[in-house]
A and B are shown apart, each in its own frame.
Chain A
Amino acid sequence: MIERPNRTLRAGSILLGIVLLPATVITLLDGGHAPPIDVLHRYAPPSLLHPLGTDPFGRDLMVHVLTGAFNSVTIAAIAVCLATIVGTALGLIAAVRPARAIMGLTDLGLAFPPVLIAALLVTALGASATGEILAIALFGLPAQIRITRQAARSILIQDYIAASRLAGRGPVYIMRRHVLPNILPLLTVQATSSLALAILSDAGLSYLGLGAPPPRPDLGRALASYQIHIFDHPLLVAIPGVTIMLLVLGFNMFGDGLRDALDAAHEEHTP
């Protein structure tokens, strides 16, 4: 599919690799728990034992941030998967039927930012990872529906679809054999960009205390608890923030690069 990885794609992969590789290794080793609290070694400066120092609870900052990054990406990825699957299905339906209800849903979604959905859910049910995932997924749904519908429509007007229909193929077969494979690259690009947005949403929600509750470390929550130390220990605020930025930038660039690569591949096939 991608013969010529371009510079943007490569840069995005490198940024993601810098954070995600160590994050995965550390999470696998520690089981995703927060590093142990050690009151004797609070605010330790960077050392061999603690490469980035320790936080106000004496926890290793690097381990805490990397585990948090893994958790953030996991939550964002589940939410994006959910939005992609449901959104693609609804978008495909809306492409072939005059589905006022579905399009109304997308308009409704535009007025409900994740923070409001999360506020409602947390008030009624208390903070939970499920609620946060739901809030992020619901917010991403409208864009997914719109993009799928538009892309599917551009395929459905092609002549070979009419031919396939004349040959007696049903809508489900046409969707599976002709439409889905054709819009899959676009959906992949969209999912990558959504991931960047979902990570930002996750960070914001957990900063506000509307995200997944402790004990699992989280970048937004870490920032909230380190914020008061910004003057004495700026590294505590800088490191989690830069980590979020690297992830978001990485996914954004990866998505842009992927789109460019797919466009280039497309142009090569259609002279």
Chain B
Amino acid sequence: MTGMAVFRILLERLVLLVVASLVIFAAMNLLPGDPAAVMLGLDASPESLAALHQKLGLESSLPARYLHWISAFIRGDLGQSYIYDVPVRSLIGERLQSSLPLILLAMLLSLGAGIPLGVIAAAKRGTLLDTGLMGFLQLFKSIPDFWLAMMMTFLFSLTLHWLPSSGFPGWHAGALPALRALTLPAIALAIPQAAITARFMRSSLIETLSQDFIRTARAQGYSRRGVLWRIALPNALIPVLTLAGIQLPVLVTGTIIVESVFSLPGCGKLLLEAVNQRDIPVVQNLVMLIVASVMVLNVLMTIFVRWLDPRLEADPS
């Protein structure tokens, strides 16, 4: 992985980020209707409309408004919520306390369960265990995560009383209650992802095991088990990690939905409230922040995968 290659990836993603910000800005400001009227509703008085125009800076030209927004965004100023009349930044900061751990936990669980399951299925391919496992995973791939979440609250919270069914006590109440509140949401979020990961892991490993260099390693004295774990697995993991990067936005969607099911006060909940109340500054900045975070994570994943796979350096496609 040369510095030049890293630089090129970063530059590409930066351009994409600018395009993304333009798309978000355009959606909020160019679509039919006056943003102020959208926010105030149909029966707003002309005076309050004018006041809001002033407040949102709608008098200035579009390019000026875009530049003003994006430069503030880069400085970390995410604007003022229209509904709550507090800085969007403090709103988001508060909500990240549950959203960020939730998404990280879900990712960890999905890789932590998906990879071993895929390896087991590949190692035992063609057996009853493999067929059964794959059928089971196909089923879980097809379950809507929010419905799974509901069924899990029914079983684990309402019937068995093991874990809380909704709400988030916050980290100040101690790590254990907070983690307990996040457990069910994270599992609900992780199960469909783990199913996708496991199926992909299996096919990637089987594909790798059929390569010539596996035979070379066997001729060198590697045992069947050794070749699976030490030679085939590292190679087969590369596309799986790439997939994990691609699946990130899906995980974001899932987080927003699952937060809604468990009434977690996270970013997803904030976004939905803002959409319902037409709180444009919150929607615009929050969507931009989510897109930017997904892209940054994706870049990190891309660089990591390229570092793992030296061939990609020579062939960037």
Contact = CB atoms under 8 A, between A and B. Distances in A.
Q: Are A and B part of the same complex?
A: yes
Interface stretch (B101-109, B139-147, B220-228): B139-147
Given A108-B19, A119-B271, A113 B144 contact: no
Contacts of A209: 272, 276
A201 to B, nearest CB: 8
Given A123-B38, A207-B146, A231-B154, A112 B249 contact: yes
Contacts of B146: 203-204, 207, 223
B81 interface: no
A247 to B, nearest CB: 8
B150 interface: yes
Given A123-B28, A123-B38, A227-B261, A113 B249 contact: yes
A122 B275 contact: yes
Interface string A234-258: 1001101100110011001100100
A244 B144 contact: yes
Nearest to A240: B147
Given A113-B249, A115-B253, A234-B154, A125 B275 contact: no
Contact of B142 (A111, A114, A248): A248
Contacts of B275: 119, 122-123, 210
Interface in B127-157: 138-139, 141-147, 150-151, 153-154
A209 to B, nearest CB: 7
A241 B144 contact: yes
B28 A124 contact: yes
B249 A203 contact: no
A146 B298 CA distance: 18
Given A112-B249, A207-B257, A245 B143 contact: yes
B256 A115 contact: yes
Interface in B8-60: 12-13, 15-16, 19-20, 23-24, 27-28, 31-33, 38
Contact of A116 (B32, B261, B280, B291): B291
A208 B257 contact: yes
Contact of B150 (A112, A204, A223): A223
Interface SS of B by simple majority: helix
A111 B20 contact: yes
Interface in A70-129: 104, 107-108, 110-116, 119-125
Given A204-B146, A249-B142, A112 B283 contact: no
Contact of B32 (A111, A125, A244, A248): A125
B144 A200 contact: yes
Contacts of A244: 144, 147
A107 B13 CA distance: 9
A120 B27 contact: yes
Contacts of A249: 138-139, 142
A124 B15 CA distance: 25
Contact of B283 (A120, A203, A231, A238): A120
A192 B228 CA distance: 34
B253 A123 contact: no
Interface of B: 12-13, 15-16, 19-20, 23-24, 27-28, 31-33, 38, 138-139, 141-147, 150-151, 153-154, 158, 246, 249-250, 252-254, 256-257, 260-261, 271-272, 274-276, 278, 280, 283, 287, 290-291, 294-295, 298
Q: Which 9 A-B pairs have the closest CB atoms?
A: A241-B147, A113-B249, A249-B142, A248-B142, A124-B31, A120-B27, A113-B253, A115-B253, A111-B294
Interface of A: 104, 107-108, 110-116, 119-125, 196, 200-201, 203-204, 207-210, 220, 223, 227, 230-231, 234, 237-238, 240-241, 244-245, 248-249, 252-253, 256
